[in-house]
Amino acid sequence: MHAFARQTFLENMAQTSPNPLALHVVRAEGNYLFDVDGRKYLDLIAGISVCNVGHQHPKVVAAVQKQASEFMHVMVYGETVQTPQSTYAKQLIHLLPASLDCCYFVNSGAEAIDGAMKLAKRVTHKTDFVALVDAYHGSTQGPLSLMSNDYYSQAFRPLLPSVHFVKQNDIAALANIPWDRVAGVITEVVQAERGDQWSSAEFLQSLRAYCDAHCALLIFDEIQTGFGRTGKLFAFEHAGIVPDVLVLGKALGGGMPMGAFISDRALMAQLSDQPILGHITTFGGHPVVAAAGCAALEVLLESTWIDEVSKKESIFRAGLVHPSIKAIHGKGLMLAVELANFETVQLCIQKMLNKGLFSDWFLFAPNCLRLSPPLSITEAEIQLACTQILEVLEEM
């Protein structure tokens, strides 16, 4: 039966790589995944920063069940009053600076990036974008155009023209941008797929100043960093810089697919006129997904998990000391453990599975092991994970 399930997966599902991990997950609960044989794995990546409150939290499950019993999809986004959508939007806006007071829900982070790009062009009447070298914003045509790495983008050209790339924290390079043509600057506060590399406050402040001086929108991609992962609800809070547009995804849906871009109401209103329906989605803000996300946010805010992030980071850093570990990058529960090379990381991931640990690697930092567990991970679980990772490294 197990072999049949694996073969069905390989024969009928489009594959994203020649050799998928193919772990057969049948259940998830709390901080653990369970495979078809009943073996449990401590989840050290939380669906890539999605399951911040753990898997199957009772309050999230109850919210999903309640909403599914009342109504699911009834009409395309924005035409009917659907309380789960508006309630969640209000709760998010209440937590954000005053200039971020209008929320547009979509189905994923990539869609939210696309929406933010359209908003920037509509508002500024300009065409160009600035993005960071080795940034990752999604895999659809718009976000892919913001990817500097030719290995991942060359096969899909032509993409959107007029994207200018600068290296993270290279303030001097900003002077060479043709700002009179720039509609928006799109940046991660943390370059997640580059191995959790942080933008300095000075760099973000410089981006803010250039955008203000040249009427461009500053767009922060917090798809991976949002909802407490760095020790604050949103990573931009560390730098004290407020974007013109905030892009969210992943943990936004509480384990279900959801994205959003949030901006000033006066700016967002321009998407509804000239042309009417300037941006539209069928399933964006799906009521069941909105209910799940809202419940997950409530769970997070009622817990002490965000306050505990810094201490949990310290336990990881103190426990992961080994000659094979070259460095640990990142902040909070968004860490990249640098090893020798990609092959070493792949072998480590496989051996960690044998010890009941589930992890992954990074797109632009394949020599790094990803640690982004649910924020609900306990100190004891972190200590156990560190001990077992060191055992793996010793075995290798």
What local confidence, expressed as pLDDT, does residue 191 receive?
A: 96
What local confidence, expressed as pLDDT, does residue 164 receive?
A: 97
Every domain range in the chain assigned CATH 3.90.1150.10: 2-53+303-395
Given this structure, which CATH class describes domain 59-302?
A: alpha beta
Q: Tens digit of pLDDT for each residue in 182-219?
A: 999 999 999 999 999 999 999 999 999 999 999 999 99
What local confidence, expressed as pLDDT, does residue 362 receive?
A: 94
What local confidence, expressed as pLDDT, does residue 4 receive?
A: 65
DSSP per residue, 167-224 = -TT-TGGGGGS-GGGEEEEEEESEEGGGTSEEPPHHHHHHHHHHHHHHT-EEEEE-TT
Q: Hey, which residues does 55 pair with through a beta bridge?
A: 30
DSSP state of 55: B
What local confidence, expressed as pLDDT, does residue 138 receive?
A: 94
| Low-confidence residues in the chain, pLDDT < 70 | 1-4, 20
The span from the CA of 28 to the CA of 258, in Å, is 20
What separation, in Å, do the N-terminal and C-terminal C-alpha atoms of the chain show? Answer: 33
pTM over 0.75: yes
Report which residue type is found at 191. Q
What architecture is domain 2-53+303-395?
Answer: Alpha-Beta Complex (3.90)
CB 111 within 8 A of CB 104: no
What local confidence, expressed as pLDDT, does residue 34 receive?
A: 97
293 conformational bin, left if phi > 0, alpha if psi -120 to 50, beta if neither: alpha
Every domain range in the chain assigned CATH 3.40.640.10: 59-302
